[in-house]
A and B are shown apart, each in its own frame.
Chain A
Amino acid sequence: MTLPASTLGVIAAIALMALATYLTRAGGIFVMSRVPIGPKVERFINAMASSVLVAVITPMAVNGDWGARLALAATLAVMLLLHKPLPAIGAGILTAALWRFLVP
């Protein structure tokens, strides 16, 4: 199944893409509104919620260059010390930029 890249075809393809994306955004609450939330489901959700972030971040660290790894390490360190996101993120970006500047 293909659409020609005419104006109408492109708009239709974009609309389908948007629909698929919205279904992922709405699907979670749709399913949950039909699942009774007991303590077990809540424990699952709580552990899963932060695990989403872990699963996003880990490959960045493993597959990234040393600039990306050190950036994450700097963010973690500053975050644990200060508990303030902005300095932590700033330290991360600065670390990556510095590393790539110094180690071409």
Chain B
Amino acid sequence: MTTSDPDSLRLDRAGILLGIRRMAPLSLFVIVFGLAFGVAALQQGLSGLETLLMSGLVFAGAAQFGTLELWGPQIPLVPLIAITFAINARHLLMGASLYPSLRDLPTASRYLSVAVLSDANWAMAMAERRHPTQRLGILVGGGIALWLAWMLGTSLGVIFGSGITDPERFGLDAIMGCFLLAMLVGGRPAPWVLVPWSAAALAALAAMAWLPPHSHVIVGALAGGITGLLLPRKEPAS
């Protein structure tokens, strides 16, 4: 048994399988979102193969939906890339927050691991407090599960056309919010974080009201981070 920094992550097959298993329930719902995307992309005029290619390579539902209306006879590149970057910019902060436990990995696996970084597996990895060494497996395994579900859903949407037309009726649109909230609270946060969280919530709402679209996540997260930095030290050493 090699004992190194207990927070450092290891990536092995068992960890990845654990991540896949832990993410399986949510992945079922991701299939529904993928289906909805496949249907919407076909209606926008993309071919089935193009739609699958996008889901496979981009693998970012919010950005794919958010830029869908740009796909016409002429594809405007600047808005396409700018909106994609803006919607996905939260990944920058999520990746940064993973770094302290990820730095012991070889550079190549470090950059390969974040290829499947997305909201759900990141949140699940960060909520894993009891076994921080499993974090990377949850990130990568969970990411693989989400990717497979996203592809399966997109394929179903492309093949069967209209499936579930209004997921709102079944409350399915609420699932991502509920999942992220469960991960947020499931990390058993210390009471002091309520201060940065309040700052983050207020800043996000202010950004939604007054700043360009899609900036609210970044603004809120930075506000929360800065507030945490300015708070008097009470945080237990992790």
Give the docked Cα–Cα distance between A79 and B186 (Å): 7
Chain A residues lying within 8 Å of B169, measured Cβ to Cβ, are 97, 100
Kindly supply a per-residue 1/0 record for chain B positions 80-92, scoring 1 wherever the CB is within 8 Å of any chain A CB and 0 otherwise: 1100110011111
Contact A44 B114 (CB under 8 A): no
Q: Using CB atoms, name the residue of chain A closest to B188.
A: A83
Chain A residues lying within 8 Å of B72, measured Cβ to Cβ, are 5
Within 8 A of A (CB), among B171-207: 171-175, 177-189, 193, 196-197, 199-201, 203-205
Nearest CB in chain B: distance from A100 CB, A: 6
Chain A residues lying within 8 Å of B200, measured Cβ to Cβ, are 51, 54-55, 58
Within 8 A of A (CB), among B92-114: 92-100, 102-103, 110-111, 114
Q: Is A18 an interface residue (CB 8 A)?
A: yes
Most chain A Cβ neighbours within 10 Å, of B59, B181, B216: B181
Contact A18 B221 (CB under 8 A): no
Q: Using CB atoms, name the residue of chain A closest to B207.
A: A55
Tally of chain B residues near chain A (CB < 8 A): 98
Nearest CB in chain B: distance from A90 CB, A: 9
Q: Using CB atoms, name the residue of chain B closest to A63.
A: B208
Contact A47 B224 (CB under 8 A): yes
Contact B220 A18 (CB under 8 A): no
Tally of chain A residues near chain B (CB < 8 A): 75
Contact A100 B171 (CB under 8 A): yes
Chain A residues lying within 8 Å of B201, measured Cβ to Cβ, are 54-55, 58
Give the docked Cα–Cα distance between A58 and B142 (Å): 24
Chain B residues lying within 8 Å of A74, measured Cβ to Cβ, are 178
Chain B residues lying within 8 Å of A47, measured Cβ to Cβ, are 193, 196, 224-229, 231
Q: Using CB atoms, name the residue of chain B closest to A45.
A: B97
Main DSSP-derived SS at the A contact region: helix
Give the docked Cα–Cα distance between A23 and B224 (Å): 23
Contact B97 A48 (CB under 8 A): yes
Nearest CB in chain A: distance from B152 CB, A: 19
Contact A55 B77 (CB under 8 A): no
Q: Is B217 an interface residue (CB 8 A)?
A: yes
**Given A10-B75, A42-B100, A80-B185, A72 and B177 touching (CB < 8 A)?**
yes
Which 5 A-B pairs rank lowest in CB-CB distance, beginning with the nearest?
A47-B228, A51-B224, A28-B95, A55-B220, A48-B225
Given A33-B103, A67-B171: 14 more A-B contacts, CB < 8 Å? A24-B85, A28-B91, A29-B102, A40-B229, A43-B229, A44-B226, A46-B235, A51-B221, A55-B204, A56-B217, A59-B208, A62-B205, A64-B177, A92-B175
- Residues of A at under 8 Å CB distance from B? 1-5, 7, 9-11, 13-18, 20-29, 31-33, 37, 40, 42-64, 67-68, 71-72, 74-76, 79-80, 83, 85-86, 88-89, 92-98, 100
